[in-house]
Structure 1
Amino acid sequence: MKVKEFINMLDQHKGKELMFSYQQDKLVGANYHLTEVKNVQFDTTDCGGKTNFWEETHFQLWESPEEIEKRTYMTTDKILSILNRVDGIKPLKKETELKFEYGNEDFTTAVMPVRELEWDQNRLYVSLFSEETKCKAKDQCCIEEEEIEAEACCETSNCC
Structure 2
Amino acid sequence: MTLIDNSPHTQSDITLGSLLERLKETAAKRLVFEYDGKIVRPGYHVTEVKAGRFSALDCGANPEAWTEIFVQLWDVDGGERTHMPAGKFSAIIRKVSEHVALDGSARLTFEVSDGVRPMQLYCADEPVERDDVLFVRLSPRPASCKPRDRWLAEQAMPSQSSCCGPSNTSKCCA
TM-score normalised over the length of structure 1: 0.76
Structure 1's unaligned 5+ residue stretches are 140-160
Written as runs of structure 1 = structure 2, the 5 A alignment for 1:2-151 is: 2-24=15-37, 26-64=38-76, 67=78, 69-104=79-114, 107-138=117-148
> Separation in 2 of the partners of 1:63 and 1:105?
7
Moved over 4 A (4+): none
> Separation in 2 of the partners of 1:129 and 1:56?
16
Aligned to 2:88, the other structure's residue is in SS state helix
1:43-91 deviation per Cα after TM superposition (whole angstroms, max 9, x unaligned):
11122222211111111111346x3x34511111211211121112223
Counterpart of 1:56, as a letter, is E
> Separation in 2 of the partners of 1:74 and 1:7?
15
Counterpart of 1:16, as a letter, is K
Q: Which has the higher strand share?
A: 1
> Separation in 2 of the partners of 1:47 and 1:97?
20
> Separation in 2 of the partners of 1:138 and 1:5?
27
1:2-40 deviation per Cα after TM superposition (whole angstroms, max 9, x unaligned):
11110011100011111000122x111111111111102
> Separation in 1 of the partners of 2:138 and 2:75?
16
Counterpart of 1:8, as a letter, is E
> Separation in 2 of the partners of 1:134 and 1:89?
32
> Separation in 2 of the partners of 1:124 and 1:45?
38
Farther-moved stretch of structure 1 (69-78 vs 33-42): 69-78
- Could you tell me whether the CA contact under 8 Å between 1:3 and 1:97 is conserved in 2? yes
The share of aligned pairs that are identical, in percent, is 29
Counterpart of 2:55, as a letter, is D
Tell me the number of residue pairs that the alignment of Structure 1 and Structure 2 aligns: 136
- Could you tell me whether the CA contact under 8 Å between 2:54 and 2:66 is conserved in 1? yes
Please tell me the root mean square deviation across aligned C-alpha atoms, in Å. Answer: 2.0
Counterpart of 1:48, as a letter, is G
Structure 2's unaligned 5+ residue stretches are 1-13, 150-174
106 and 90 in structure 1: CA distance in 2 versus 1, 3 angstrom threshold: closer
